[in-house]
């Protein structure tokens, strides 16, 4: 399939209702960190962008929100063409300019503090990271607490960034500045807003 | 869908266009991630005047889906103008099911009350907010209040509460009583009576706040600390009522005064109409409940 066909195929079949369904899953996941939200396959983006991450991008990004792609995604012209055709999203030159970032390979990703953190006056002007993960249960367990969590919750995404727990602690300390993370796994997603504290990590 | 597309001129689902919804949705996510922080957003003109809930309507329109069940309350009541018209609006533009029952609703848009029945996980409470900035009446400049939030400088608010004590012997603020969210941001809970402040604390429901004219959205995620500001020697207290609801006999609920005649006759009834109806259906009676209705009926010819 050539790039032109790939970029046109695989968008939302029902843009209005699919975008709402995906947003609602993200909102509920953001409000209940670590709680895994199921999400049917609503978009079919070209690899290596996953269906879940593609759907999240289509429901949140548009021409107002510069998007940063990590090198594996940056290398795929079809991914850029697909995102451009379906959302009109401009690509950010640096992570610090990005409103959203799509990360296909979280293990090798740039440090969290390299992304936009917002300012003390406007902490909302920060990057939301969309991390593509294989699942939410097979990696090292992260025990979470904070707003949205009644007591504790548990999530175990594999292939997270290096020194993630330490980096996340620093992200917590920057509050109200900081980045928020959407973990996009096949068929499901979960969120780590900047308020969530990782209590412990079991190897 | 087919029926919709044959309409000659039809609105997008839930009235707002998709780009506006995305913009509001992004603001909602930031609001949830930074509890109590007021996220600026590009508020749109809505087919209703400012002050009638344009912020709440935009938030509801951005989150609502075809499977949602919507309840709208105005000062606790399902049957007042604002509630009826917003409910009709969403029935028309989003074709969603509406209800007056708190337990059945997935989204509850409210003007200045939180239902008496405890909310559950998965429900979303959308507040209509006139003035989102709790410091606004103390400091009119946005640049200054923003800096005060940035520096967590809330001394002025405590001075205001202290002045209440100096003047009245107690904290005289009864509604829009300032709260601190998760130990960081001081937030205006919208002009709900302070009676409802404790319900916000670690509520299982997600609470979203929309201010249309002031163009701000903020949020309190579930299970989040919401503490009303007070002093050690003047702890926060909610209103108490010395009589139960005249219709359903409920105690420890928020009551409205209803004037009955021109001779000073009045009664206190539940402000939450759904709660009151449920209780009466369950057989609870207050001293002016329907059995004694003939008494109030007799009063009418006297007018």
Task: Read off the pLDDT of residues A110-152 as tens digits, 9 standing for 90 and up.
Answer: 999 999 999 999 999 999 999 999 999 999 999 999 999 999 9
CB atoms A15 and B63 under 8 Å = no
CA distances for A145 relative to A34, A125, A200, B111, angstroms: 9, 24, 10, 31
Given the residues B56, B212, B249, B276, the one annotated as active site: B276
- In this complex, which of A31, A126, A193 lies closest to B222 when CB atoms are compared? A31
Give me the residue from B12, B28, B151 closest to A16, CB to CB: B12
Instruction: Tell me whether residue A57 is exposed, middle or buried, using C-beta atoms within 10 angstroms of its C-beta: 0 to 12, 13 to 18, 19 or more.
Output: buried
pLDDT at A174: 95
Query: Is B76 annotated in the active site?
Result: no
Q: Which residues of B35-53 are buried (b: 16+ CB within 10 A; e: fewer)?
A: bbbbbbbebbebeeeeebb
Q: Which value does ipTM take for this structure?
A: 0.96
Tell me what pLDDT residue B166 has.
95
A–B: how many Cβ contacts below 8 A? Answer: 111
Q: What is the DSSP string of chain A?
A: --HHHHHHTTS-SSHHHHHHHHHHHHHHHHHSTTPPEE------PPTTS-HHHHHHHHHH--TTS-EEE-HHHHT-HHHHHHHHHHH-PPBPSSGGG-SEEEES-GGGPPPGGGS-B--SS-TTSBPEEEEE-S-SSSS-EEEEESTT-SS-EEE--SSPPTTHHHHHHHHHHTTTS--EEEEEETTEEEEE-TT-EEEEEE-
Give catalytic status of residue B270 as yes or no.
Answer: yes
CA distance A198 to chain B (A): 15
B6 falls in which pLDDT band (50, 70, 90)? low
Residues in A closer than 8 angstroms to B26, CB to CB, are: 60, 65, 99
Of B22, B149, B221, which is closest to A147 when you measure between CB atoms? B221
Q: Is A37 on the interface with B (CB under 8 A)?
A: no
Q: Return the H-helix or E-strand segment holding B157.
A: helix B155-168
For the cut 50, the answer to whether the pLDDT of residue A92 exceeds it is: yes
Which of B55, B212, B245, B286 is catalytic? The answer is B245
Active-site residue, B36 included = yes
Q: What is the pLDDT of residue B295?
A: 41
Q: Is the pLDDT of residue B234 over 50?
A: yes
């Amino acid at each position: 399939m050539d790039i032109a066909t790939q970029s046109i195929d695989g968008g939302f079949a029902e843009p209005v209702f699919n975008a709402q369904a995906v947003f609602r899953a993200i909102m509920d996941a953001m409000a209940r960190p670590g709680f895994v939200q199921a999400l049917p396959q609503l978009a079919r983006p070209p690899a290596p962008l996953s269906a879940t991450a593609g759907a999240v991008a289509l429901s949140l990004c548009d021409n107002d929100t510069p998007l940063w792609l990590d090198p594996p995604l940056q290398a795929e012209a079809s991914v850029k063409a697909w995102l451009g055709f379906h959302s009109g999203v401009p690509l950010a030159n640096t992570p610090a300019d990005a409103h959203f970032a799509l990360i296909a390979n979280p293990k090798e990703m740039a440090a969290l503090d390299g992304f936009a953190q917002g300012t003390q006056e406007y902490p909302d002007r920060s990057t939301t990271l969309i991390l593509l993960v294989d699942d939410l249960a097979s990696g090292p367990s992260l025990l979470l607490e904070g707003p949205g969590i009644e007591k504790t919750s548990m999530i175990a995404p594999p292939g997270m960034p290096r020194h993630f727990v330490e980096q996340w602690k620093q992200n917590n300390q920057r509050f109200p500045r900081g980045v928020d993370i959407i973990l996009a796994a096949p068929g499901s997603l979960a969120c780590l807003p900047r308020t969530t504290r990782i209590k412990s990590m079991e190897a | 869908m087919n029926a919709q597309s044959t309409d000659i001129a039809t609105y997008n689902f839930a009235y707002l266009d998709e780009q506006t919804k995305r913009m509001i949705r992004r603001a909602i996510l930031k609001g949830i991630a930074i509890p109590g922080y007021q996220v600026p957003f590009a508020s749109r003109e809505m087919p209703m005047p400012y002050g009638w809930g344009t912020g709440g309507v935009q938030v509801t329109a951005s989150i609502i889906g075809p499977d949602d069940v919507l309840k709208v309350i105005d000062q606790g009541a399902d049957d007042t103008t604002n509630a009826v018209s917003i409910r009709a609006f969403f029935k028309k533009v989003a074709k969603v099911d509406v209800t007056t029952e708190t337990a059945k609703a997935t989204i509850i848009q409210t003007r200045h009350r939180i239902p008496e029945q405890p909310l559950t996980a998965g429900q979303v409470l959308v507040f209509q907010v006139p003035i989102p900035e709790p410091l606004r009446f103390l400091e009119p400049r946005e640049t200054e209040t923003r800096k005060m939030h940035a520096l967590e400088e809330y001394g002025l608010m405590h001075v205001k509460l202290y002045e209440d004590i100096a003047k009245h012997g107690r904290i005289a603020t009864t509604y829009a009583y300032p709260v601190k969210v998760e130990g960081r941001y001081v937030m205006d809970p919208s002009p709900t009576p302070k009676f409802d402040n404790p319900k916000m604390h670690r509520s299982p429901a997600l609470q979203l706040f929309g201010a249309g004219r002031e163009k701000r959205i903020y949020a309190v995620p579930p299970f989040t600390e919401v503490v009303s500001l007070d002093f050690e020697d003047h702890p926060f207290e909610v209103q108490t009522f010395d009589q139960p609801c005249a219709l359903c006999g409920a105690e420890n609920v928020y009551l409205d005064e209803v004037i009955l005649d021109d001779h000073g006759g009045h009664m206190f009834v539940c402000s939450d109409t759904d709660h009151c109806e449920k209780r009466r259906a369950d057989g609870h009676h207050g001293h002016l409940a329907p059995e004694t209705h003939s008494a109030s009926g007799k009063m009418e010819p006297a007018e």
